[in-house]
A and B are shown apart, each in its own frame.
Chain A
Amino acid sequence: MNAVEIKNLSKSYKDVKAVDNLSLEIKKGELYSLLGVNGAGKTTTIKVLSLLTDKDEGEVKVLGFNTEKDTEEIKKLISLSPQETAVAPMLTVKENLEFISGICGFSKIETEKKVTELINLLSLQNVKSRRAGKLSGGYQRRLSIAMALISEPQLLFLDEPTLGLDVIARSELWDIIKALKGKITIILTTHYMEEAEELSDRIGIMKEGKLLISATPDEIKAKTDEATIEKAFIKIIKGEVK
């Protein structure tokens, strides 16, 4: 079954066509990365899928539900970790998690269980009583993902999850994302090509609102006759692939 089904999606902002006739299917349990230069339409696509913006044209189904009619059902099943860390800075790590759990409607007992599980899963034990605003970038990203996971989403959007992190923090976050693979569907946007190559089951490359290719990392490399996704990406974006 597909987690996401997009048919002929278009979305414009004034005169700019952010997404242009996009069609895409993402399978349940898949980790799908959307790549593209700035303004390619990745973020707009995620915003349509996560109900943050309305589409102009096309048909979009998320986990079998229509994004126009079934917004309440979809909101219960999805979660977003935005590009900015999006944490409450004066609340502790534990309080941030308890807050989101409460917003998602979980009871006190459920919240306590979930918070403990996520603190362990994301290795936040040492900082659980520290205020989020005082954490390092790496820990803030982990907290952001933990906050996105607390609702037990079936579909998780990770928008530039490792932006601005050092090599070690990025590697640690990759391990966490890998541990989630297969359990839930993940749609990831990133500018780091090695990240997409390392983590993704499939990659979609967008340019000027259009999806140029959607395939596995190996298929993309084979098609472009390149050894890395970064080189393949450049070739595709420059239009050097037929």
Chain B
Amino acid sequence: MKSLILAKRSLLEFIREPINLIFSLGFPLVLILLLSAIQANIPVSLFEISNLTPGITVFGLSFISLFSATIISKDRSTSFLTRLYTTPIKPYEFIFGYTLPFIPVAVMQAIITYLVAFVLGLCFNINVFYAILFIIPVSLLFISIGLLCGSLLSDKAVGGICGALLTNLTAWLSGVWFDLELVGGAFLTISKALPFYHAVELERLVLKGSFENILTHLIIVLAYTIVIFIAATLVFIRQMKKQ
């Protein structure tokens, strides 16, 4: 119950800041429109809408990391969390309270991206629903990264790490914009060792309906999510005790 109260507050803080809505819901739209326009004017198949859309729904989640990290780090720097630490609220309730509000935001982001993709020529089928459904575990991966960064870093550092580094990692090492197999070598090895590539592959396979091939990707994404969530919780508790 306390988690829901904290979640409601976090959601209100998020949606009442116009820049958050512009970035979380608007930026993926700009990308899909821009890349589709490029695709329409080049002779090779580089940004096919059926390949691009699931990738953008994953890339858009990197902004969710930024927002969840920012809200925690700001709550730390303004002593809002210090106030809450003296109330009868438990560490796991804090973690849920900072996690829950971003799940509907992630789903909404994916729905809007797919709606625009339909306009741009993506064929509607039942797999779109599954792709949106599978965005939930993927969003938990990005939210957990936000929780970890927000618990560890100052609000200024969060902008650099989550705003710049994470979005770049997600962009380059996920295969959203280009085929990583074409690059190969160490780049491909590193990409496959990180969860972003697997998150994008998972979404692409689900949209194609190739459910028999998703297991490895899903397991890797979930494993990273669990480990990062545990790390975030431990760091959060450590910060509580370090007051």
A contact set with B: CB distance below 8 Å: 47, 50-54, 72, 75-76, 78-91, 95, 99-100, 102-105, 131, 147-148, 151
A208: min CB distance to chain B, Å: 21
Residues of B in contact with A, size category: 20 to 34
* B243: Cβ under 8 A from any A Cβ: yes
A84–B241 alpha-carbon span in the complex (Å): 19
B contact set with A: CB distance below 8 Å: 2, 5-6, 8-9, 12-13, 16-17, 78-80, 82-89, 241-243
Cβ-defined contact, A84 with B78, below 8 A: yes
User: Known contacts being A85-B78, A102-B2, is A47 close to B243, with CB within 8 Å?
Assistant: yes
B231: min CB distance to chain A, Å: 22
A218–B6 alpha-carbon span in the complex (Å): 46
User: Known contacts being A53-B243, A99-B9, is A88 close to B86, with CB within 8 Å?
Assistant: no
Chain B's closest residue to A104 (CB) is B87
Chain A's closest residue to B20 (CB) is A90
User: Known contacts being A82-B79, A83-B79, is A91 close to B86, with CB within 8 Å?
Assistant: no
A75: min CB distance to chain B, Å: 5
Cβ-defined contact, A103 with B82, below 8 A: no
B contact residues around A52 at 8 Å (CB): 82, 85-86, 243
A51–B83 alpha-carbon span in the complex (Å): 11
Cβ-defined contact, A76 with B88, below 8 A: yes
Q: A50-B86, A87-B80, A131-B16 are in contact. List 5 more A-B contacts (CB 8 A).
A: A51-B85, A75-B86, A82-B83, A100-B83, A104-B87
A76–B6 alpha-carbon span in the complex (Å): 18
Query: Which of B16, B84, B86, B89 is in CB contact (< 8 Å) with A90?
Result: B16
User: Known contacts being A82-B79, A86-B80, is A103 close to B2, with CB within 8 Å?
Assistant: yes
Q: List 22 A-B contacts (CB under 8 A).
A: A47-B243, A52-B85, A72-B88, A76-B88, A78-B86, A80-B86, A82-B79, A83-B79, A84-B78, A85-B78, A86-B79, A88-B9, A88-B13, A88-B80, A89-B13, A90-B12, A99-B8, A99-B9, A100-B87, A103-B87, A104-B87, A105-B2
B contact residues around A90 at 8 Å (CB): 12-13, 16-17
A contact residues around B87 at 8 Å (CB): 75, 100, 103-104, 151
Cβ-defined contact, B78 with A86, below 8 A: yes
Query: Which of B5, B80, B242 is in CB contact (< 8 Å) with A102?
Result: B5
Cβ-defined contact, B88 with A86, below 8 A: no
B8: min CB distance to chain A, Å: 8
B195: min CB distance to chain A, Å: 31
A contact residues around B8 at 8 Å (CB): 99
Chain A's closest residue to B9 (CB) is A99
Chain A's closest residue to B87 (CB) is A103
A86–B84 alpha-carbon span in the complex (Å): 9
B3: min CB distance to chain A, Å: 10
Chain A's closest residue to B14 (CB) is A90
A contact residues around B242 at 8 Å (CB): 53
A83–B82 alpha-carbon span in the complex (Å): 10
B76: min CB distance to chain A, Å: 11
Chain B's closest residue to A13 (CB) is B242
A67: min CB distance to chain B, Å: 12
User: Known contacts being A52-B82, A52-B86, A82-B83, is A91 close to B12, with CB within 8 Å?
Assistant: yes
A148–B86 alpha-carbon span in the complex (Å): 10
Chain B's closest residue to A85 (CB) is B78
User: Known contacts being A52-B243, A90-B16, A91-B12, is A79 close to B5, with CB within 8 Å?
Assistant: no
Cβ-defined contact, A51 with B89, below 8 A: no
